[in-house]
């Protein structure tokens, strides 16, 4: 069974390679912005647009001749910038994203290059890239497969990463065959139908004091000064530290769930809508439910499990998991423990919701099978 998967490695380029990467970032950014502006102008004046093939021909026969410095960049990386622009418009018209924006050199930088006739390869310590040569990496993950492309990324904090897109043959990993329902929350990140709870680490909250201090320090620096750039990098690295801690925590929890269960049932949360709440937006963002569910999804697939999303309209918190009676009073979120008026069972709100989510998910599987 074949699949396409990404492998990401921390890279440590030398000064010459860093200079080449910066040129590539700038050239790809220029090409993207140039043709985004051209497409906007063409639409305003003639209600017409440029296809990917038309942009490629114009880039080769016109733009590169007028801007000879573009020839110093990886040619396939420039073509991929046009691919990204074309895909951005496609996503916009299909309702999968917003209108394409101009790229800025102030944020993280990246470019993608394709593996043409073995131009990209990897060994124990380095990755071979077109025009860049062998770039030193920390090789933490091995794979067997055909490399399709490579993406070089420089974060706002100055770290470099190389991500390889690989076509590989894989085998389904085993799992313990369990079944669990999960209720997501802010105090407990997840509460399981097996009564286990994972406390929300609130990673951003624990680093917020230092981030505020670094942000104030940055705001005092003069625009364009070296001290401001140093302060910006320090602040960016603190944000990256928060992201790294959160990702590490989520990877461990999702791997444990996928390794132990054949069926995991979750609630299909409207995270984007919930983020509109001024009071809870920061806490919801810190919990990062969408990213948690994304990681859980592909890990369940790797282990041959099933991830079921229960409709968000299902009143999992209001139904007694013992007798099925609905208690409308539980729309008040401050009620954390309650007694069923029908059967007298005492419930913890989150555990009861997790049990109902599991029951509903199993019913959905049964209905799909019949």
pLDDT tens per residue, range 241-255: 999 999 999 999 999
pLDDT band at 339 (very low <50, low <70, confident <90, very high): confident
Residue ranges of E strands in the chain: 2-11, 109-114, 121-122, 126-129, 133-138, 145-154, 160-169, 178-184, 188-192, 197-199, 261-267, 306-310, 337-339, 346-348
Average pLDDT over residues 202-230: 95
Q: 56 near 88, Cβ under 8 Å? A: no
Residues 312 and 337 in one domain: yes
Q: In angstroms, how far is CA 87 from the centroid of its own chain?
A: 18
pLDDT digits (tens, 9 = 90+) for 85-113: 999 999 999 999 999 999 998 888 999 99
The pLDDT of residue 170: 85
Residue 145: beta bridge partners? 168
Average pLDDT over residues 231-242: 95
Domain that holds residue 326: 178-205+232-369
In this model, does residue 155 exceed pLDDT 80? yes
Last residue of a domain, which of 120, 141, 169? Answer: 169
In a domain, 216, yes or no: no
In a domain, 222, yes or no: no
DSSP string, 2-36: EEEEEEEEEE---HHHHHHHHHHHHHHHHHHHHHH
In this model, does residue 1 exceed pLDDT 80? no
Q: 88 near 82, Cβ under 8 Å? A: no
> Minimal CA–CA distance to 22: which of 68, 77, 62, 102?
77
Residues 142 and 238 in one domain: no
In this model, does residue 225 exceed pLDDT 80? yes
Q: Percentage of the chain with pLDDT > 70? A: 100
pLDDT digits (tens, 9 = 90+) for 22-63: 999 999 999 999 999 999 999 999 999 999 999 999 999 999
The pLDDT of residue 331: 79
The domain that contains 189 carries what CATH number? 3.30.420
Number of folded domains that form the chain: 2
In a domain, 80, yes or no: yes
> Minimal CA–CA distance to 303: which of 139, 137, 171?
171
* Cβ atoms within 10 Å of 78's Cβ, excluding its own: 25
Q: 115 near 131, Cβ under 8 Å? A: no
Spatial separation of the C-alpha atoms in residues 162 and 140, rounded to whole Å: 12
In a domain, 37, yes or no: yes
Average pLDDT over residues 140-157: 94
Contacts of 364 (CB under 8 A, 6+ apart): 308, 310
Catalytic residue positions?
183, 267, 350
pTM (2 decimals)? 0.89
Last residue of a domain, which of 169, 196, 218? Answer: 169
pLDDT band at 297 (very low <50, low <70, confident <90, very high): very high
Residues 265 and 359 in one domain: yes
């Amino acid at each position: 069974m074949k699949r396409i998967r990404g492998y990401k490695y921390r890279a440590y380029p030398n000064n010459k390679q860093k200079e080449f990467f910066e040129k590539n970032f700038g050239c790809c950014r220029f090409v993207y912005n140039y043709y985004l502006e051209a497409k906007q102008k063409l639409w305003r004046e003639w209600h017409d647009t440029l296809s990917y093939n038309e942009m490629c021909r114009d880039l080769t026969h016109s733009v590169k001749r007028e801007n000879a410095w573009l020839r110093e960049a990886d040619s396939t990386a420039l073509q991929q910038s046009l691919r990204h622009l074309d895909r951005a418009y496609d996503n916009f018209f299909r309702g999968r994203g917003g209108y394409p924006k101009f790229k800025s050199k102030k944020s993280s930088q990246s470019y993608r290059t394709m593996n043409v006739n073995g131009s990209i390869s990897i060994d124990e310590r380095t990755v071979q890239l077109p025009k860049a040569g062998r770039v030193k990496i920390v090789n933490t993950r091995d794979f067997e497969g055909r490399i399709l492309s490579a993406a070089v990324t420089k974060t706002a904090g100055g770290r470099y990463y190389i991500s390889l897109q690989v076509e590989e043959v894989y085998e389904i990993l085993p799992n313990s065959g369990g079944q669990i329902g999960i209720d997501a929350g802010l105090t407990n990140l997840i509460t399981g139908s097996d009564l286990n709870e994972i406390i929300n680490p609130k990673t951003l909250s624990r680093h917020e004091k230092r981030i505020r201090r670094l942000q104030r320090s940055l705001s005092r620096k003069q625009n364009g000064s070296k001290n401001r750039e140093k302060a910006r990098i320090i602040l960016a690295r603190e944000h990256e530290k928060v992201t790294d801690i959160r990702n590490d925590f989520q990877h461990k929890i999702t791997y444990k769930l996928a390794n132990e269960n054949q069926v995991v049932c979750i609630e299909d949360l409207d995270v984007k809508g919930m983020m509109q709440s001024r009071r809870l937006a920061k806490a919801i963002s810190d919990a990062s439910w969408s990213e948690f569910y994304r990681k859980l999804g592909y890990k369940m697939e790797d282990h041959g499990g099933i991830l079921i999303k229960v409709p968000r309209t299902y009143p999992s918190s209001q139904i007694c998991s013992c007798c099925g009676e609905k208690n409308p009073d539980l729309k008040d979120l401050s009620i954390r423990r309650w007694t069923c008026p029908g059967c007298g069972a005492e419930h913890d709100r989150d555990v009861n919701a997790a049990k109902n989510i599991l029951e509903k998910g199993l019913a959905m599987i049964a209905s799909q099978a019949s």
